[in-house]
Structure 1
Amino acid sequence: MDSVSEQIVLFIVSLVANLLSALAGGGAGLLQLPALLFLGLPFSVALATHKVASVFLGIGATSRHIRSSKLNLRFVSIILVFGLPGVILGANLILQLDDRWAQIALGVLTLGLGIYSGLKPELGQSSSAKHQTLPGLLVGGIVLFFIGVLNGSLTSGTGLFVTIWLIVWFGFDYKAAVAYTLVLVGIFWNGVGAWTLGVQGQIEWSWLPALILGSLIGGYLGAHFSIVRGNQLVKRSFEIVTVLVGIALIAKAI
């Protein structure tokens, strides 16, 4: 594959992955990271490169969400204070794992995410605040810490895990949870993860222009469609893709 064709493929993959991610509230890694692996990057390099590009998903989505969403400082603080240490821990752990086992873990996590999401078709259709006391906030924060560990290491669908957790535990509706995920996970979690991995690992800089452009455009368009049209059809399509990608990754690693 020549360099021009490579950049076109990377842009298309990034655009589709980030559009779906912005619609569903996470999951760009479900398509983008496996694509980087299939194109030949080692796992640690693919993960670091994907993390950098994912920051621009957050920027693209935020530029749309910021006009129609108001973030509560309490939940912003919980997501950042508990989540960021987990991201740093996970990013340091993943560099110690063998690529093959990391791919199997990624495949299993991706497959499980697709199945779980498929069993919850009406998740987050209405808001109902709950677990707003200190114990409830602490439990919610601790779970966000462990999701942060996954975000820093395996990265597959962890944004969607945050979205689902905000809905299930705190009672957010889908649109509000997506806004928090894309702004805070997309920019801050992924930014810290990218920095941690970049310092210790490698980044494929020549692939980033196409990935960043696709992330910006896909993030903005996905956020726009999630706000004005909803996401039932895309959510179902996304679940099918997660299952297929999970199976493919497990098969490739084995």
Structure 2
Amino acid sequence: MTGLLDQFVLFIASFAANWFSALSGGGAGLIQFPMLIFLGLPFAVALATHKVASVALGLGATLRHLKNNQFERRFSLIILGAGLPGVVLGASVILAIPPKLAMFALGVLTFGLGIYSVFKPKLGMDYAPRNQSGRALLIGMLGLFVVGFLNGSVTSGTGLFLTIWLIRYFGLDYQRAVAYTLVLCGLLWNGTGALVLGYLGHIAWDWMPALLAGSILGGYLGSHIAIKKGNLWIKRAFEIVTILIGLKLIWG
């Protein structure tokens, strides 16, 4: 059981992590997941517990983003249909993968995302949808499956991969891509991963009150600021978060 001080620390860490995540389109695991391990949870339990708590980020973001009505039903179904099988597969195999190797590889990739965005000043600034039919769509769905696998298997910052894939390949701007990531990945992908990890492992339910409160509140307020500030502000937040997460995973 966690005491009142631990619950307060969990709430602050969860709020900060999910506020930044809602701004940039991913990255809540940079703060929240290591905090759970630091406070005493084993890796597998921390992973499952964080995955459940991250669903609340999706809920908080959904409450805000649905007001803007930026979602296309067909494209939403494509993201879910291609990504969810990868989430299930990733969550099923992660407990057998050496954590240090997985985290280092993810750190290199995540750091690369941030640097790539920095040197592409026009990336994600305009909404120009593409590659949503024929062979191009199949390639895009394969990419969504791979991102889903990462989301189910490694928890720190994988929503950022979905954000950049939606921008780079499908032509979304940052604001729309972040909205899809927070709602579909945060709520439904993470919900599926939480179910699989909860079935295969253990969840620290007594840690949940503070984590859920911080996730919902941070997700809602972060999404509100992102919507108000627009693409350039979100792009800068994305770059900062990806570079920080990459360095943390490489040298953590």
Q: Same fold (TM over 0.5)?
A: yes
Matched, 1:220 2:224: no
- Which residue of structure 1 aligns with residue 80 of structure 2? 80
How far has the Cα of 1:210 moved from its partner? 0.8
- Which residue of structure 1 aligns with residue 211 of structure 2? 211
Identity between Structure 1 and Structure 2 (%): 59
Matched, 1:157 2:132: no
Deviations 1:39-75 (A, max 9, x none): 3322221111111011010000000110112311221
- Which residue of structure 2 aligns with residue 133 of structure 1? 133
* Of 158-167 and 240-249, the range deviating more from structure 2: 240-249
- Which residue of structure 1 aligns with residue 166 of structure 2? 166
Alpha-carbon distance in 2 for matches of 1:67, 1:209:
26
1:8-23 → structure 2 map (5 Å cutoff): 8-23=8-23
Alpha-carbon distance in 2 for matches of 1:241, 1:183:
19
Alpha-carbon distance in 1 for matches of 2:250, 2:201:
24
| 1:123/1:167 contact within 8 Å kept | yes
How far has the Cα of 1:121 moved from its partner? 4.5
| 1:53/1:212 contact within 8 Å kept | yes
Matched, 1:188 2:185: no
* Of 99-108 and 201-210, the range deviating more from structure 2: 99-108
> How many pairs does the alignment contain?
251
Alpha-carbon distance in 2 for matches of 1:160, 1:193:
17
| 2:226/2:233 contact within 8 Å kept | no
Alpha-carbon distance in 1 for matches of 2:169, 2:99:
34
- Which residue of structure 2 aligns with residue 97 of structure 1? 97
Distance 1:132 1:193, change over 3 A: same
Alpha-carbon distance in 1 for matches of 2:143, 2:84:
12
Distance 1:85 1:107, change over 3 A: same
| 1:110/1:156 contact within 8 Å kept | no
Alpha-carbon distance in 1 for matches of 2:62, 2:230:
17
Tell me the TM-score normalised to structure 2 length: 0.90
